[in-house]
Amino acid sequence: MTQRPFDIAAAFRNKETALRASFLAIREVTSHGTTIGDQTEADWVGLIRDFLPTRYAVGPIFAVDHHGNLSEQIDAAVYDTHYSPQWFGAAGGVRFVPVESIYAVFEVKPEFNSAYLRAARQKVSSVRKLERTSQAVVHKGGRYEAVDIEIKPVIGGILTMRKGLDDPAQKLKDTQPAPGDHEFLNIGICLDHFAFDYTPSAAGNKVETELATRSDGDQLIHFCIRLFRQLQAVGTVPAVDMTKYEETVFANDSD
């Protein structure tokens, strides 16, 4: 008996259908904005967590740097739990995570519009403005030297369900700051309409970043694959330099 091949496209589309059904189900039984928002955030976190390898942790967080500076609350973050300690948990599963361990941060909103784009950029910026450290890592075969923070950028994005603009892709392009700006958005999705990303692609010895969009019904597939490619480009987050945090902890100690 010939075994049928696994239908990858159908699997993604089924996931997209389930996500949309969950969103509609909670909206039909309550008009409470916070309840709807919490469920939508949980749905996105679950989808990203299910798709990515288990090396990545996914969930709501606050990012913290060694000065004690704190980001705004992030709805969905992709972060590492191997090279950095995880500080403290909080009610509802929100964690305080050292900024060094963060791969990507996302703002979850009900629709893709100008106001929510600004909100997403502010949230992403609040993480990128924090000061990251880097430390060498000793392993069985030797030593990995401390990495250059600049080549390990934090991916920033927005996750929405429906569009609130006639041409959301054009609004994105018109308002997008330059690559490298703290408010630059690398990737995002409006589940009912389109996905976008600026995924680096090698062109000879030059790495170029160009806007790509998809709006033919396979936007969730596009988003997930491009997110994974961006994470691959980052590689592994820098190991936290605990001496910097130790200096802050004991800065006010007297002899």
Model pLDDT, residue 126? 98
Task: Spell out the domain ranges in the chain.
Answer: 8-246
Question: In this predicted model, what pLDDT tens digit does every residue of 160-196 receive, in sequence order?
Answer: 988 899 898 899 999 999 988 999 999 999 988 999 9
**pLDDT class for 255, splitting at 50, 70, 90?**
low
Model pLDDT, residue 205? 44
For β-strands 142-144 and 194-197, DSSP reports them as unpaired
Separation CA 153–CA 123 (nearest Å): 15
Closest CA to 231 of 41, 77, 72, 83: 77
The winner for highest mean pLDDT among 33-42, 85-94, 114-123, 149-158 is 114-123
**pLDDT class for 250, splitting at 50, 70, 90?**
confident
130 touches 64 (CB < 8 A): yes
Positions marked catalytic: 75, 107, 109
List % helix, strand, coil for the chain (3-state, nearest 5). 40, 25, 35
Whether pLDDT at 142 is above 70: no
Q: Please, which residues have CB within 8 angstroms of residue 93's CB and are 6 or more apart in sequence?
A: 59, 60
Q: Torsion angle, CA of 49/90/184/112, rounded to 10 degrees? A: 70
Model pLDDT, residue 57? 93
Question: In this predicted model, what pLDDT tens digit does every residue of 212-244 receive, in sequence order?
Answer: 999 878 888 899 999 999 999 888 888 888 888
Q: Tell me how far the alpha carbon of residue 58 is from its chain's centroid.
A: 9
Average pLDDT estimate for 102-123: 96
Percent of the residues in the chain that have a pLDDT greater than 70, as a whole number: 77
Model pLDDT, residue 204? 43
Model pLDDT, residue 23? 62
